[in-house]
């Protein structure tokens, strides 16, 4: 269950280092269910798509509370839990419980599309149903776990999106995949949305202000430096140069956190890429205005003043870790 949640939209090379640490921290479903969400997010931090961690934690709690701590064995029952879509439910049911059900990830869909010569022009929902029906008919009795994993590996290592290794394929004599299709060029890179992140690093006696991001968005539940996001295309919000960002950030800090700051200097911009976002991180160093009492200026929000060395105690994103590393380097 943990591995399938982690592998949603993330490559296995990225997942591997996190997987071992996560299972060491939460070696059983009971330990995961009992853990506070902030601890779960801390061990997930850096892998992205944090809704997966929230859903995994919620599913563990439901299983513990309502299902006597036993993970359901069927795809239908798994689909009632948070974070379980058709693929994840099918993968857990077939691989863990050997249920004869489809687990059509991207690799499996590609293999089957080529093997049955499914027309790409067919409506996606109709095509998906056809492939799942065909796959479930193929799965041998009492061998669902091994069969589904083998099909996933075939797509991951042999039946590649571009330049498939057809000469190594064990089912090549049944496959109508044409030579012309094999010669098609590399598909264009998925376009990422460009964003500018103006990040306020507010120092107060060697500590910096961080807050917990509200909601369930991209970095929901994680801790971060106060940040304003804008698009370089619209021209709205903070810009790349320090003067507009200085003014906009100071107003934001005053309105949102109730604090008055003194601008010191900008730091070097950084680049950070998410799956669907290419962000330019623009950090700006501030000091808390002299004579201000922290206790009186910070409203009742989830905020902390922390040393940079103490950030590791909080679940923070890889983007914010980059900014903290840059700050450390600039101060040395």
Active site residues: 4
For the chain, helix (H) and strand (E) counts, in that order, are 15, 8
Task: Return all residues near 325 (Cβ < 8 A) that are at least 6 apart.
Answer: none
207 in Cβ contact with 289 (< 8 Å): no
* Rounded (10°) angle between helices 37-44 and 51-66: 140
71 in Cβ contact with 63 (< 8 Å): yes
Phi, psi dihedral angles at 64 (to 5 degrees) = -65, -45
What are the DSSP calls for 83-104, one per residue? T--HHHHHHIIIIIH--S----
Ranges assigned E (strand) in 63-220:
193-204, 207-212
Long-range CB contact pairs, 94-97, < 8 A, 24+ = 94/139, 94/144, 94/145, 94/148, 95/144, 95/145, 95/148, 95/149, 96/1, 96/71, 96/145, 97/73
């Amino acid at each position: 269950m943990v591995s399938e949640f982690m592998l949603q939209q993330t490559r296995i090379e990225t997942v591997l280092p996190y997987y071992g640490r996560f299972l060491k921290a939460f070696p059983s479903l009971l330990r995961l269910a009992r853990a506070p969400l902030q601890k779960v997010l801390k061990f997930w931090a850096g892998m992205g798509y944090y809704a997966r961690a929230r859903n995994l934690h919620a599913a563990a709690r439901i299983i513990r509370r309502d299902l006597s701590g036993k993970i359901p064995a069927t795809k239908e029952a798994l689909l009632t839990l948070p974070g379980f879509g058709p693929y994840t439910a099918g993968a857990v049911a077939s691989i863990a419980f050997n249920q004869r059900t489809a687990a059509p990830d991207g690799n499996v869909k590609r293999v089957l599309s080529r093997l049955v010569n499914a027309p790409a022009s067919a409506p996606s929902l109709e095509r998906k149903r056809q492939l799942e029906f065909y796959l479930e008919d193929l799965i041998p009795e009492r061998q669902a776990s091994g069969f589904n994993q083998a099909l996933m590996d075939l797509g991951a290592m042999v039946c590649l999106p571009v330049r498939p290794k057809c000469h190594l394929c064990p089912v090549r004599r049944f496959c109508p995949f044409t030579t012309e299709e094999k010669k098609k060029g590399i598909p264009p890179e998925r376009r990422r949305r460009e964003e500018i992140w103006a990040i306020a690093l507010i120092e107060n006696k060697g500590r910096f202000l961080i807050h917990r991001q509200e909601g369930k968005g991209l970095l929901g539940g994680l801790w971060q430096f106060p940040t304003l996001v804008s698009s370089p295309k619209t021209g709205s919000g903070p810009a790349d140069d320090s003067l507009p960002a200085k003014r906009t950030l100071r107003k934001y800090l005053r309105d949102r956190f109730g604090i008055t700051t003194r601008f010191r200097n900008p730091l070097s911009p950084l680049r950070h890429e998410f799956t669907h976002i290419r962000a330019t991180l623009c950090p700006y160093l501030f000091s808390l205005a002299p004579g201000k009492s922290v206790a009186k200026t910070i409203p009742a929000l989830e905020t902390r003043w922390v040393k940079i060395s103490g950030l590791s105690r909080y679940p923070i994103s890889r983007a914010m870790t980059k900014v903290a590393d840059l700050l450390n380097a600039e101060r040395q």
